[in-house]
Structures are given as structure tokens and as C-alpha cells.
Amino acid sequence: MTAEIHTDLSDGILTITLARPDKKNALTNEMYGVLADTIEAAQLDPSIRIVLLQGDGDSFTAGNDVGEFAAIAAGKGPAKRHVHRFLHALANATKPVVAAVNGKAVGVGTTMLLHCDYIVLAEDAQLITPFVNLALVPEAASSYLLPLRIGHARAFEMFALGEPLDAKNAVAWGIANKVCANDQLRAEAQRMASRIAEKPAGSLNAMKKLMRDAQRLVAQMASESAQFEERLGSAEAREAFSAFAEKRKPDFTRLDRK
């Protein structure tokens, strides 16, 4: 268990907290590994009825660690990458997943929400999918799930422009269930998780399984992953990652389309 992921099991609710607030809970390979292990184990543990995801500090998560993207692009990534195991665990989970989202949910921070079942947003929540800004493509089956959820026009806009979607619109568009005051977020998410946890678990799990085609989602992830890997090695992506590290705006105008 890494110090950057905390877990707590109480009354059948496994709360998983992203705890790297100084880096806006940006997810490292190690953190993905722990998340994957935890969600996989939760499926098999009869004392766990529901999983709740939340983030410490002022952001849910800033998404994948951009430094790690840059290392992969430079051929210096980790020998074993855990992100896919994490995404597959989420796609295959039949126990309900609740999310409590405050501040920014960037990249996978937003796309993982498409695999959650009940989402509470704080008033300051912002959902951001800047894959194209980073010269990448959407992942976590979001290229399928987001248009399905909110329609092509809105999904295209979110992906292509990478601009924040605020909490009110995220609920209006059907991505999340409700908005609450920032200081009520955790209590409200726990309250909803408790209400769901009281329901018959077997029925809930069977219902969730019927509502999601996990095989379809995993197949979409494989298609996305092939494109994603290719994009990671592109000159455009290298420019985007260097710009992030140098805290400047990227300049894609001098690059060809590769």
C-alpha cells in the first residue's frame, strides 16, 4: 500500500482516498497498481458492499502524472504499467462505486467517473478532459461512454476543447447525480453510499452487471490504448509534456500532424 492511497472499511463501505494533494492527486503508476489491487480485492471480499472514491486536498485528481507520461514518451517508463489493470478492474466491477468529487477532475479523473454508479459533486467541481490538448486521445472507454452519456456534440466539445464542465452542468448533462456544498461533500457521499449499502447486495450486483457491457468497454479500451500509445510517442505529445514541465503554453504550429 502506498502512502498516496488510503483505504478505510466501515459498515460495508470501502472508502478509497487519493492522497497526493501536493500534486493535486495526480496518479502515478504505483498508485494505479494499488487502486487496481484494492478494487480487484473488493470484488472478492464479502464484507465490502460498496466502494467510495474521493480525493484529499482541493482536487479530486489532476489525472495521470504528466511526468510519467513524458518518461514513457522518452522510452523510460516503468517495466510494468498498472493503468490498464485499474481501468479493467473498474469496468468489470459489479459492486456499486460511489464518487465524491471536489475541485478538478482531470483526464482519467473524469473518465473514471463514467464507470462510477453514483456521483456527488462539490459546488467547485470541474470536469476536464484535455486529452487533445496533450496531443493524446481519450481513454477508459470514454470515447464510447461519454458520447453515449451526453451526446456527440457535447462530448466532442469536452474532448476537443478540454475546457472545464462545472458541477451544475455535469448534473444537467447526466454525468453526475447531485451537487452539494463543498464542506458537505464527504458526508453526503457517505450518506448515499450507506443508503445503497443497505440494499440487497446480490440484487444490486446483478443489476449493475445488466446495465453495463463490460466486454464492450474492455474492447473499447484496447482500441483507445493502441492509439494512445502511438500518440504518446508523437512530437506533438513531447511538445505538450515539455510545455507542462516548463509551465508554458504548448506551440503545436511548427509540428507536422504526426
Under rule CB under 6 A, residue 107 binds ligand COA: yes
Choose one: 56-64, 70-78, 94-102, 179-187; the region binding ligand COA (CB under 6 A): 56-64
Under rule CB under 6 A, residue 204 binds ligand COA: no
Under rule CB under 6 A, residue 146 binds ligand COA: no
Under rule CB under 6 A, residue 104 binds ligand COA: yes
Shortest distance, CB of residue 168 to ligand COA, whole angstroms? 19
Under rule CB under 6 A, residue 164 binds ligand COA: no
Q: What is the CA radius of gyration of the chain?
A: 18
Q: Where are the alpha helices (DSSP H) in the chain?
A: 29-44, 66-73, 83-92, 108-111, 142-150, 152-161, 167-172, 185-197, 201-211, 214-232, 235-245
Under rule CB under 6 A, residue 231 binds ligand COA: no
What three-state secondary structure class fits 187?
Answer: helix
Under rule CB under 6 A, residue 20 binds ligand COA: no
Q: Nearest to residue 65, comparing CAs of 83, 88, 79?
A: 83
Contact with ligand COA (CB under 6 A) among 14, 114, 134, 158 = 134
Shortest distance, CB of residue 126 to ligand COA, whole angstroms? 9
The rounded distance, in Å, linking the Cα atoms of 112 and 178 is: 17
The rounded distance, in Å, linking the Cα atoms of 144 and 74 is: 29
Shortest distance, CB of residue 71 to ligand COA, whole angstroms? 11
122-161: burial string, b at 16+ Cβ within 10 Å, e else:
bebbbbbbbbbbbbbbbbbbbbbbbbeebeeebbeebbee
Under rule CB under 6 A, residue 106 binds ligand COA: yes
Shortest distance, CB of residue 130 to ligand COA, whole angstroms? 5
Q: Give the residues lining the site for ligand COA (CB under 6 A).
A: 23-24, 26, 59, 62-67, 104, 106-107, 130-131, 134
